[in-house]
Amino acid sequence: MNSLAWVLLFVICTVPVASYIRREKRLRILYMWQWDWLVRKIVELSSRAPWDVYADVAVTLVVGPLLSWRFIKHRKQAVLAFFGYVLFTFVLLPALGGSFVGSSLLGAVFVTLFGFGGYALFLVGATACNIVLDYLSGGQPSPGIAPALPGVRVGSVYIPFVEGVIALIVALIVHEGAHGVVAIRERIPVKSGGLITLGLLPIGAYVEPDEAVFRRAGALSRARVLSAGPVANLLVFALFAALLVFAAPLSNYLSTYACAVSSGVRIHDVPPTLDVGGGVIESPAYGTLMPGDVIREINGNSVNCVTEFFKVLAPLREAEANVPLELKVLRDGKELNVVINTEKGYIGIVGVENAYGAPLPLWYRAAALLISILSWVAFLNLMIGLVNMLPLPPLDGGHIYKAIFEELGQPCAYRLILWLTIAILVVNVLPWFV
C-alpha cells in the first residue's frame, strides 16, 4: 500500500472517532476544534511583549524597506522596523547558515529592496523562466510547485508522516497565534481559535477575529495583523535552524555510527523515467535493478551507507557524465554484478536508505527522530512563511500588498503585481497538465 493510501485509510478510520468526540450524528470529513487555551494564551501574550515593534518589523520583512518606509507614517517606528529588518536578514540568517538569501545576486537584490514577499515571488519567477526555457528547447520540464502532505510522496517530494504532522502543527499554531496576538494589540477582538482536521489528521489552524472590526481598521493595522503570521514562521525557522547548528555534533555522530553498522544502500524504487529537475530522462537502471536491491559497491568503491553512495556519485552528477558503472548488488541473499550506463550522472533510482543487518538501538532511533523533527519544523516553517508572503489572495501577502498599495493610492500597481503572480504560478503548474 502506497503512502497516500495509508493517509486516506487513517482519515477514513478516524472520521467516526472525530464524530463521536464532537457528539455529531452526521459523519463529516472536515472538523474545526475550538481551543479555548489558544485564545487565552493569545490574550495573555498580547500584553507581555513589544508587539508593536514586532508588527512593524514584520510588515517591513514582507514588503521590504522601500514600501514600508512610505507606508509606516511615524518615522521612529519606521526606523525601528528598518533596523529589525537588517538584523534579521543580514545578521541572524547568515549566522545560522541561511545562505539562501544571497544564493544569487538577483535574489539578494530582491530581498534587500522588496523583502521576503518579493524574494518568494523571485523564486517562483525564476522557476517559471526555467520551465519556459525547457519547453522552448524541446524538453519536458518538471512542475515548479508540488503539493506537500505528510506521509505522501508526490514526485520526488516526500515528508515523513510523524515529523510532518508535528512540523505542520507547530507552523500553523505559531502562524495563527501571531495573527491573533497582533490583532488584539490593534484593538481587533479575537472571537475563537483552534485546529482544523481531516478526521483526526491535523491540516490547519484558525484564529477568528471580529471581521467587522478588522475591515474597519486602518490599512497599517490590517497589514500588521496579516504580516505577523508568516514572519512568525520565519522566526521559528531561525530558532530551529539555530538548534540544528547546536545539534550538529550529535548529527555527525549519528551519521558516522549509521555508516559503520550499515552494510549497503537499499533501493526504494526503480521507475521507468526519472525527473531530474532539468527534465525527464529514461531510467538507466529500469529493468536491471529492482526495488529492495542493496548496492554494496560502485566501480570497486564500497558504499556501506547513503553518505558514501552520494560521495561516489557526486563527481558524475556535477559533470553530468554518461559513464558505465559496475555495481555489486545483493538481491534475495545472492550477490550479483551488474553494469549501468548513467544518464546525466544519474543511475535512475528513487529513494535510498541504509541497509542494516540488525535493528538499530533505541537510543539511535530516538536521537535520529529528534534531529529529523528539528529539520522538518525548520524547513516547513520557512516554506509556509514564504508561500504566505506571495502577493496573491487568499494568502496573507495578497491582502498585505492590496492594503498597502490602496493606502498609497496605487491600486493599478497592485493589480499588475497580482496578475504577474498569477501568470508565474500558472507556468509553474503547467507541467502537471502538459
**Residue 277 pLDDT class (50, 70, 90 cuts):** low
- Give me the torsion for CA of 238, 243, 246, 247, rounded to 10°: -130
Domain range 263-364, CATH class: mainly beta
Q: What is the pLDDT of residue 224?
A: 92
Q: Rounded mean pLDDT of the chain?
A: 84
pLDDT reported for residue 1: 46
Give residue 146's pLDDT band: very low, low, confident or very high (50, 70, 90): confident
pLDDT for residue 175 is more than 80: yes
One-letter amino acid for residue 202 of the chain: P
Q: Per-residue pLDDT tens for 377-392?
A: 999 999 899 999 999 9
| Cα-based angle 105, 108, 112 (whole degrees, multiple of 5) | 140
Residue 397 pLDDT greater than 90, yes or no: yes
What pLDDT, in 10s, does the model give residues 304-342?
Answer: 888 888 888 888 777 777 788 888 999 888 888 888 888
Q: Can you read off the three cell numbers belonging to residue 431?
A: 507541467
Is the pLDDT reported for residue 156 higher than 70?
no
Per residue, what are the HEC states of the chain? CCHHHHHHHHHHHHHHHHHHHCCCCCCCCEEEEECHHHHHHHHHHCCCCCHHHHHHHHHHHHHCHHHHHHHCCCHHHHHHHHHHHHHHHHHHHHHCCCHHHHCCHHHHHHHHHHHHHHHHHHHHHHHHHHHHHHHHCCCCCCCCCCCCCECCEECCEEECHHHHHHHHHHHHHHHHHHHHHHHHHCCCCEEEEEEEEECCEEEEEEEEECHHHHHHCCHHHHHHHHHHHHHHHHHHHHHHHHHHHHCHHHHHHHHHHHHHHEEEEEEEECCCEEECCCCEEECCCECCECCCCEEEEECCEECCCHHHHHHHHHHHHHHCCCCEEEEEEEECCEEEEEEEECECCECCCEEEEEEECCCCCHHHHHHHHHHHHHHHHHHHHHHHHHHHCCCCCCCHHHHHHHHHHHHCCCHHHHHHHHHHHHHHHHHHHHHHCC
Mean pLDDT of 166-191: 90
**Domain map (residue ranges) of the chain:** 3-246+390-432, 263-364
Distance CA 320, CA 342 (A): 9
* Cell representation of residue 262: 550499515
Write down the pLDDT at residue 312. Answer: 84
Is 199 in contact with 17 (CB distance < 8 Å)?
Answer: yes
Which pLDDT score, from 0 to 100, does residue 257 have?
92
Report yes or no: 175 and 384 within 8 Å, Cβ to Cβ.
Answer: yes
For residue 201, the tally of other CB atoms under 10 A from its CB is: 22
C-alpha closest to that of 333 among 294, 360, 304: 294
Using pLDDT thresholds of 50, 70 and 90, give the confidence band for residue 353.
confident
190 neighbors 39 (Cβ within 8 angstroms): yes
Average pLDDT over residues 104-116: 74
Residue 377 corresponds to which amino acid?
A: V
Bridge partners (DSSP) of residue 326 are 339
Q: Which residues have CB under 8 Å from 20's CB, separation 6+?
A: none
Neighbours of 316 (CB within 10 A): 18
* Residue 403: φ, ψ to 5°: -60, -40
Encode pLDDT of 184-231 as tens digits: 999 998 888 888 888 888 777 788 888 889 888 888 899 999 999 999
How open is the CA angle 310-314-318, to the nearest 5 degrees? Answer: 150
